[in-house]
Structures are given as structure tokens and as C-alpha cells.
């Protein structure tokens, strides 16, 4: 009972510090994190992510007031070019239950994945981040420990250093990508409200553009509009912002890559394809 009261006292202090520094937090939320069965009881449980530096200082300077609490710095994704090529690059987010089970299995039937995932691991959710997840993800280090009957770590039995993942190089041309996105947005802006005859007035709300090297088929630029900033997903996106991105008319959904997932009529440019096919098969002559 005394140990439980001590835990409640520490959680209350953590909640107060986070709330005082702009991160409103309730003790109940911290308790749910600690009691979450997804987490390994022998490993640290993250009760707060992306905390203010002031909180880090307080915890580090007053260890007697926060026993068992540590602040850990982790590497996070950075997108120096903001929303540029967002649909191509994609974004990462916390692994969900189905993704976790497909890589690690369940407690009853675990899977030995070479690049072990934890319940709070980040994983590629779209774009290159998702397609190249296995290449980009590094191999976490492994520490095997010996514990006593109370679950306290006695000694480290084995330790394996972590290994970084591989680099992935794309064929995208940065300046061409930037110019393509700007030109696409400008043309859609120009098209809005333009009368198109029997089709009525153009909405100009969404579109896509792709530039390819005809010699190799390499994609040099791929733009989709509207777009989003993948840095919003770093350390997790709020439910409110997620709902904002996905709500409303599907035409305005910025998460859809319209270059590969949009439904558009091919238009007159496809006449070149059918004409070439007809010429090659002899159905028509020049």
C-alpha cells in the first residue's frame, strides 16, 4: 500500500509539472499508460512525449522527487523542406495493433522479427516511408538482463549494439518538384470559376502532375494538390488535427496522393496511346 501511495504521489508531481509547462495532463492518463499491457514491464514506459525542456530540467535536478522517472532523448524525423514532396515521402506514426502483430505476433504466438518493434515504435504509414520501411528502419540494440523475484534488474547478461538502417535515394529532382508543385497550385487557382461549356464551371480544387524521364521511366517530380506537412505527424498528431485533415469533401482531403490514387478521365492525351496502338497492330494506317 505504501508503494502504491508513493506511485500516486510521483504521478501527481509529473502531471503538475507537465500541466504547468503547457501540457495539460491528468494522473488518470499517466496511470493508463503505466498499466497498458502492450508495454514490457521490464522496459521504461513512455508516459509523456515531446515534453518541454523545463520539465526535463526539473526531473533531472530533483531525482529524489521523481524516483524511477527518467527523461530520454530520441531521434525524430525532420522535414527541412516542409510540405515539399509530402505525398511521395509520406509520414510515420505510432505502430497500431494490426501492424504490431504482423511483425511481432501476439504474446501467445510471438514472431522473431529481425528489426524488433515495440508498442510505441514509429512505422511508415504512407509513401516511401511505408514502402521502404524495412530498408529505412534500423536494427534496435538488445539488452538481456537477469532479474530477481521482485522484477528488479540484477545484471546485464548480454548487450548488442543497435545498427542504423539503410539510405534510400530517390530519382526526384528537388527544384523540379518544387516548381511542379507551385505550377500545379497556380494552374488550379487560375482554373477556379472558369466556364468550361457543358461541364459548367471548373472547381480547380484538386489535381496532380507527374514528370518522368522518358529514357528510363524515372519519376523526376510527382505533385498532388491539396497537400499537407508531414512534420505534423512527428511525435504523433492530435485527434483534432487528424479529423480536420480527413473531414469534409473527399476532394479536399490533402492526404490523398492524386497522382496514383486519384480518379480522373484520361482526356484527349490518351488519344495518342490508342492511335499508336492502332498503328502498331495495323488497324489503321498513316
Q: Which residues are catalytic?
A: 268
What is the secondary structure of 179-200 as a DSSP string?
HHHHHHHHHHHHHTT-B-GGG-
What is the secondary structure of 7-51 as a DSSP string?
HHHHHHHHHHHHHHTT----HHHHHHHHT-TTS-TTS---S-SS-
Q: What are phi and psi of 154, to 5 degrees?
A: -95, -45
Contact indicator for 70, 144 with CB cutoff of 8 Å:
no
**Angle subtended by helix axes 2-20 and 53-61, to nearest 10:** 140
Cβ-based burial of 15 (10 A; exposed 0-12, middle 13-18, buried ≥19) = buried
How far apart CA 47 and CA 59 sit, in angstroms, is 13
Cβ-based burial of 181 (10 A; exposed 0-12, middle 13-18, buried ≥19) = buried
For residue 109, the SS3 value is coil
DSSP 159: E
| Torsion, Cα of 123, 124, 130, 132 (10° steps) | -70
- Looking up cell 533531472 gives 60
Amino acid at each position: 500500500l505504501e508503494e502504491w501511495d508513493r506511485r500516486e504521489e510521483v504521478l501527481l508531481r509529473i502531471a503538475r509539472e507537465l500541466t504547468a509547462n503547457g501540457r495539460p495532463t491528468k494522473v488518470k492518463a499517466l496511470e493508463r499508460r503505466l498499466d497498458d499491457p502492450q508495454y514490457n514491464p521490464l522496459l521504461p514506459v513512455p508516459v509523456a512525449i515531446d515534453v518541454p525542456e523545463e520539465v526535463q530540467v526539473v526531473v533531472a535536478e530533483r531525482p529524489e522527487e521523481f524516483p524511477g522517472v527518467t527523461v530520454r532523448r530520441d531521434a525524430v524525423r525532420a522535414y527541412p523542406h516542409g510540405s515539399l514532396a509530402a505525398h511521395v515521402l509520406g509520414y510515420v506514426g505510432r505502430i497500431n495493433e494490426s501492424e504490431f502483430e504482423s511483425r511481432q505476433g501476439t504474446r501467445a504466438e510471438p514472431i522473431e522479427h529481425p528489426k524488433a518493434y515495440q508498442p510505441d515504435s514509429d512505422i511508415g504509414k504512407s509513401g516511401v516511408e511505408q514502402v521502404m520501411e524495412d530498408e529505412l528502419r534500423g536494427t534496435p540494440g538488445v539488452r538481456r538482463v537477469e532479474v530477481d523475484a521482485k522484477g528488479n534488474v540484477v545484471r546485464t547478461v548480454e548487450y548488442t549494439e543497435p545498427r542504423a538502417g539503410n539510405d534510400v535515394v530517390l530519382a526526384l529532382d528537388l527544384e523540379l518538384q518544387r516548381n511542379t508543385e507551385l505550377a500545379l497550385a497556380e494552374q488550379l487557382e487560375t482554373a477556379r470559376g472558369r466556364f468550361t461549356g457543358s461541364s459548367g464551371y471548373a472547381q480547380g480544387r484538386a489535381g496532380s502532375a507527374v514528370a518522368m524521364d522518358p529514357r528510363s521511366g524515372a519519376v523526376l517530380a510527382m505533385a498532388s494538390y491539396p497537400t499537407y506537412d508531414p512534420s505534423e505527424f512527428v511525435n504523433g498528431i492530435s485527434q483534432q488535427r487528424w479529423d480536420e485533415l480527413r473531414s469534409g469533401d473527399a476532394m479536399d482531403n490533402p492526404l490523398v496522393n492524386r497522382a496514383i490514387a486519384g480518379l480522373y478521365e484520361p482526356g484527349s492525351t490518351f488519344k495518342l496511346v490508342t492511335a499508336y496502338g492502332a498503328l502498331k497492330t495495323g488497324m489503321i494506317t498513316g
